[in-house]
Amino acid sequence: MSRESRLLAGVLLITFPTVIAGGMSLLYQLTSEPEYAANSLRQDLWRAGHAHAGVYLILALVVLRYVDEAALPSGGKWFVRLAAPIAAVLLPVAFFCSVLSPDASEPNGLVNLAYVGGTLLALGLVVLGIGLVRAPRAE
């Protein structure tokens, strides 16, 4: 693993407890905050935000194991390295911040950040896949 990928993996692992804290926060709200349980839209989007953050951070760590083997230029490798972590931020922000108000009945415009994050992640994965397919075969 390259120094760059190892450094980013370390940063991701250090930040992962924020996802754990988010899960504990959701559990607290479910058990102690009646206004949270009363708004199903907010509940669904906050659960989705928490789930996407965790899954995409794990995916980002997996991507880092492969990016250094891909036949990509340096800029392409950085794009791939950063796509999943940025998506892991954009999607939860979209889901959480689009329904901050306990009485929100529909998401606000910030929900569009989910499309940006999803597109970025998809592009990063496609670029990584192409780079891996193009890489010389290891013997």
Contact 65, 1 (CB under 8 A): yes
Q: Residue 70: what pLDDT?
A: 95
Give every CB contact of residue 82 below 8 A, 6+ residues apart in sequence: 8, 124
The two tokens of residue 40 are 């199903």
Burial of 139 (0-12, 13-18, 19+ CB in 10 A): exposed
The answer to whether residue 84 is domain-embedded is yes
Number of domains in the chain: 1
The answer to whether residue 139 is domain-embedded is no
The answer to whether residue 18 is domain-embedded is yes
Range of the domain at 75: 3-134
The answer to whether residue 53 is domain-embedded is yes
State the helix-helix crossing angle for 74-97 and 40-67, rounded to 10 degrees.
170
Going residue by residue through the chain (139 aa), what tens digit of pLDDT does each one get?
999 999 999 999 999 898 888 888 888 887 887 777 788 888 888 888 888 888 999 999 999 999 999 999 999 999 999 999 999 999 999 998 898 888 888 999 999 999 999 999 999 999 999 999 999 886 6
* First and final C-alpha spacing in the chain: 18
Pure H helices in 33-104: 34-38, 40-67, 74-97
User: In CATH, what number is assigned to the domain containing residue 15?
Assistant: 1.20.120
Burial of 103 (0-12, 13-18, 19+ CB in 10 A): exposed
Contact 42, 105 (CB under 8 A): no
